Amino acid sequence: MREYSFKDVESKWQKKWSDESTYKTENSVEGKENYYVLEMLPYPSGKLHVGHARNYTIGDVIARYKRMKGFNVLHPMGWDSFGLPAENAAIQNGAHPAIWTKSNIDNMRRQLKLIGLSYDWDREIASYLPEYYKWNQWIFKKMYEKGLVYKKKSTVNWCPDCQTVLANEQVEDGMCWRHSKTPVIQKDLEQWFFKITEYADELLTGHKELKDGWPEKVLTMQKNWIGKSFGTEINFTVVETGEKLPVFTTRIDTIFGVTYAVIAPEHPLVNEIMKTNPSIKEAVLNMKNTDMIERTAEGKEKNGIETGYYVINPVNGEKLPLWIGDYVLMNYGTGAVMAVPTHDERDFAFAKKYNLDLKVVINPVDKKTKEEIVISPENMENAFVGTGIMTNSGEFNGLSSKEALGKIAEFVEEKGYGERTTKYRLKDWGVSRQRYWGTPIPALYCEKCGVVMEKDENLPVTLPTDVEFSGNGNPLETSESFKHAVCPVCGGEARRDTDTMDTFVDSSWYFLRYCDPKNTDLPFAKEIVDGWTPVDQYIGGIEHAVMHLLYSRFFTKVLRDLGLLKSNEPFKRLLTQGMVLGPSYYSPKQNKFLYPSQVTMKGDQAFDSETGEELQVKIEKMSKSKNNGVDPEEMIEKYGADTTRLFIMFAAPPEKELEWNENGLAGAYRFLSKIWRMILENKEEIEHGTINYDNLTKEDKKVVRKLHQTIKKVTESIEDNYHFNTSIAAIMELINEVQEFKTNILDVEKGSSESKKVFTEAMTKIVVMLSPFAPHFAGELWEEMGGNGEIEEQPWPEHVEALTISEEVAIAVQVNGKVRGTLEVDRNISKEDLEKLALDLENVKKHIEDKTVAKVIIVPNKIVNIVVK
């Protein structure tokens, strides 16, 4: 028997798949339904990590399973290859970003093939190639023509390290998402925007279509990010200028309790205030440069600046102080809030900090007596934010606050003070970036024609090569050949826009390009993309909930409205895989994390191999900074791709965190080796043919039953929730039973032809069910067993329900309700025969001796209870 050499097996099948284009997919196959499975495309950093391996293996298992279920499966791969890391590498190493990017793609493609992933490489895309980003520019133009793209001056998030604008979603705890120690500042710049707010309502209502296929947490995150609020916009009047100050509130029932107003530091009125009160300029600037997410973070102390200005409350004429507050944002509502400290926790904390007035306008109601409880500001330790009875509110006194909400809104509208309206937290998507390595924006500026878009026939506007990568400012500004152009309208001199697009544009529609990647006339043909979309199963991290996943939904709806596809949503089902965790080893003395290779383990304790210092061990997310990452290529070199895949799928359900454990890899390798030996050591027992179920022994039937139970369980675990771990566990149980059958029956009794067929049937089905998880291994064993055709062509096994049910049942035999024995009997046994067998049990005889049997109660296929006196 030849030993299991995973290196030989895996290289053989990978070469075969490549040479024969095994996974090349046609856009339609007669008699087969299309199924599109996709993992989020990677940024080509140059090297795969374990998180990549997990993500892509999940998708590959689904793709292989669906092929065996008879679907025509599209499973492509590409590269999200624009972005700052390539440009930074150019700055540091002097290599052009394209060279760095291509080299990284080549290496990562090689690594993906080592894992045995069944991609159709003929459909590979890379967003840095002109043939791809041409269509970013074409779509940009179409959106501009439709009024969904505009340019305006706005306050933007600016990363001093990146020297570029960041979307709100790219700011994390006040820091740049790529530079975790770089505070983001605010800057006013002319920017291009996508009008995503035009689709805010549909992005919310579309959740109904997704609720059965997307994680609830992702939908909730999107809902909160879009932030739809119903309320009233009411106009206060600024005393010093006479101008209106519109305020949006969802609690118009508290309007009579306003004791001050607050505006955002970015509010236009602030510039006017600073002219008369220049001493506040520095404080305002500091406030503006604080990240917006940090400013509004729950639990963070709110800061204010007294302006010396006042506003008039229109409903009661009260004169109120106006403050500037860091917790008020210009990009939500109107950039101004009415403060009711007695009925809002944030306002209460602010008022207490700055000793501002409090006024109660809603009293709570006693739950038992239903009577009003009068509260006074002096005794309040917290704001009362519940519902109750109106007080200090003029004609609305005595009403319930719920009723007053509508009544006061009507009053405000009748008096002309304001109107009911809907606001969104979501703001338009700023897509301008002051970097080189991205899609050039296809806009030009002509003195005669103004802003114009490049002609379709001149697309793509390609990136120039005569640029300087200094790390300061926008590299495209240094290219004279790029900046100077011809106006596509009048033919005169024009200047190109030197900004590039946010790289999230590239990934907002890439899944559509896979459907028709060689099309040179359009980004994709409608009839082709309609045959594949929406993507049936999408796999990627939850961290993309309010960036990529929201932008992809927006793009899909826009492209639908442009007549380019029919789908409303990009992805029918979404699986967000859990993180991969591993042990980190921290040295307090050296104040650094050590690599696993520098650590010696003694039981559960870890020590620095060089100094002997005991280290702090923690299981946490794998990262470069903690030195606790695992190179999947090293694992493949040591254990093989199939073992690595099997361990990844077995260690945890895909949506849960996976704790990396090399002992688990060793266990997966032993399991595969066990199956290998069972087949290659027993090839003489392999006998293909139709099983005659009438001629099976009791032991044969037991194996057949377990086989069909396993097929059922494996299939249901995959179909219901992708719990591949329970699928693999079921196959392991089956292997143990088949091995016992082989040892006790085939080896000892030299089993009959039917027993050999049962053994063959069980091992054949095991190999087929393992194929999605360990494809090289399964392909080799299928060949060894003399299977017809390739294993990829085999249909997924189907269980026969009747064969999952045992012909025998275990019956508990009781005497006066206490179990005194059990019987293994045919499930169709008569009551008379069952009673006789029960009474004949030795232990039963002992307990009914010298007693009279009053009656025998039989619960079919479960219990016999003998009642004695």
User: Residue 701 in contact with residue 746, Cβ under 8 Å?
Assistant: no
| Token representation of residue 622 | 């794998």
DSSP letters along 323-351, please? EEETT--TTSTTSEEEE-GGG-HHHHHHH
- Rounded Cα distance between 795 and 793, Å, is 7
Sign of CA dihedral 373, 376, 377, 382: negative
- Rounded Cα distance between 599 and 584, Å, is 10
**Which residue has tokens 């990934």?**
507
- Rounded Cα distance between 561 and 544, Å, is 24
- Rounded Cα distance between 759 and 679, Å, is 10
Which residues fall in the annotated binding site for ATP? 624
Alpha-carbon Rg for the chain, nearest whole angstrom, is 35
User: Residue 263 in contact with residue 335, Cβ under 8 Å?
Assistant: yes
Indicate the SS3 state at residue 703: helix
DSSP letters along 470-496, please? -SSS-GGGG-HHHHEEE-TTTSSEEEE
- Rounded Cα distance between 628 and 621, Å, is 8
| Cβ atoms within 10 Å of 369's Cβ, excluding its own | 8
Give per-residue burial for 120-129: e unless 16+ CB within 10 Å, then b. bbebbbbbbe
- Rounded Cα distance between 90 and 751, Å, is 69
- Rounded Cα distance between 240 and 311, Å, is 8
Which residue type does 796 have? W
Give Cα 244 to chain centroid, integer Å.
44
- Rounded Cα distance between 65 and 59, Å, is 10
User: Residue 203 in contact with residue 222, Cβ under 8 Å?
Assistant: yes
Neighbouring residues of 104: CB distance < 8 A, sequence distance ≥ 6: 44, 45, 46
The enclosing H or E element of 547 equals none
Which residues fall in the annotated binding site? 624
Neighbouring residues of 320: CB distance < 8 A, sequence distance ≥ 6: 236, 258, 259, 260, 261, 310, 311, 312, 313
Indicate the SS3 state at residue 600: strand
